A = this chain, B = another copy of it.
Amino acid sequence: MTPNQPGQIHRLPIAGVKNLIAVGSGKGGVGKTTIAVNLAVALASLGYKTGLMDADVYGPNVPLMMGINRTPMAFGERIQPLEQYGVRLMSMGFLNPGDKPLVWRGPMLHSVIQQFLRGVDWGDLDYLIIDLPPGTGDVQLSLIQTAPITGAIVVTTPSDVSLEDARKAVSMFRQVRVPVLGIVENMSYLDCPHCHQRVDVFSYGGGRRTADEMQVPFLAELPLDPQVRIGGDTGSPIALRKGEGEPFLELARSTVERTADAARQEGPEIEIGE
């Protein structure tokens, strides 16, 4: 019932990848993929070499949100990532396009994720963002136990139901000793496009309160902005836009800082070539 102990974990580094950041959530539909996509695009636009791995193999929304869907090439045994908006990408959506659901059993899933992590030619990256599947299950556990994750971001909405699951996600990362870089409160509030009054659709402020209670940093609060959703639905992330993208650039800057803190606490980095 308990995960393997930290002492048993083999977290082999990924050659060339300096920082691995997992974006998770206890609950689905809180905007985890939206945050992961826009964070990756923002990091790239700040000049960092960035990759985005879509580990949500059952509901891979990264291709739609990044506006790209082609079959990746393989050179020898290495899969070549696609590239869009300066971000190197890998997603199960590239390999299984269309509406057919993947109904794989656990063990097969684990090997796909390992393949994505270590069989893809990511090259030199400052940041590899992993969009985890929502929840605190089997796949998440496997991944964070075997990947050399520098730190994790937990996304939540301010609703109590989402916060309840966000606390579970923070606990999961702690159990396997992955530093939590911080909590992001997404869909914090809506600015009515008609009267410009504020609507607290999913309540407000619970992300910061939960971060305080659990003694993890509070990274950002992001509004429920229909433009963010439209950016996702049309494959043109809002982080690309001047002005409107600013909250995500700000999130990217905080992430860079927190990651540096986390990396320092983990001790000196050891680079291992292939």
Per the bound structure, the CA–CA distance linking A104 and B33 in Å amounts to 24
A6 within 8 A of B: no
Known contacts A103-B141, A168-B99; decide if A136 and B58 are in contact (CB<8 Å). yes
A193-232 near B? 1/0 per residue, CB < 8 Å: 1110101111100000000000000000000101001101
> Do B192 and A138 touch across chains, with their CB atoms under 8 A apart?
no
**Which residue in chain B gives the minimum CB-CB distance to A3?**
B103
Known contacts A28-B29, A103-B175, A136-B101; decide if A164 and B64 are in contact (CB<8 Å). yes
**Which residue in chain B gives the minimum CB-CB distance to A191?**
B199
Among A3, A64, A157, A199, chain B packs the most CB atoms within 10 A around the CB of A199
Please indicate the chain B residues that have their CB under 8 angstroms from the CB of A195 in the complex.
Answer: 192, 194-195, 197
Per the bound structure, the CA–CA distance linking A160 and B229 in Å amounts to 9
**Which residue in chain B gives the minimum CB-CB distance to A169?**
B101
Please indicate the chain B residues that have their CB under 8 angstroms from the CB of A141 in the complex.
Answer: 103
Please indicate the chain B residues that have their CB under 8 angstroms from the CB of A58 in the complex.
Answer: 135-137, 168
> Do A137 and B192 touch across chains, with their CB atoms under 8 A apart?
no
**Which residue in chain B gives the minimum CB-CB distance to A65?**
B161
A100 within 8 A of B: yes
Q: How many copies of this chain are found per oligomer?
A: 2
Interface residue from B61, B103, B138, B233 paired with A106 (Cβ < 8 Å):
B138
> Do B159 and A59 touch across chains, with their CB atoms under 8 A apart?
no
Per the bound structure, the CA–CA distance linking A138 and B101 in Å amounts to 11
A167-199 near B? 1/0 per residue, CB < 8 Å: 111111001000000000000001011110101
Please indicate the chain B residues that have their CB under 8 angstroms from the CB of A109 in the complex.
Answer: 137-138
CB-defined A-B contacts under 8 Å, sample of 10: A26-B59, A29-B134, A58-B135, A65-B161, A99-B170, A99-B171, A101-B175, A103-B138, A109-B137, A199-B226
- A residues in contact (CB < 8 Å) with B: 1-3, 26-30, 33, 58-59, 61, 64-65, 99-106, 108-109, 133-138, 140-141, 157, 159-162, 164-165, 167-172, 175, 190, 192-195, 197, 199-203, 224, 226, 229-230, 232-233
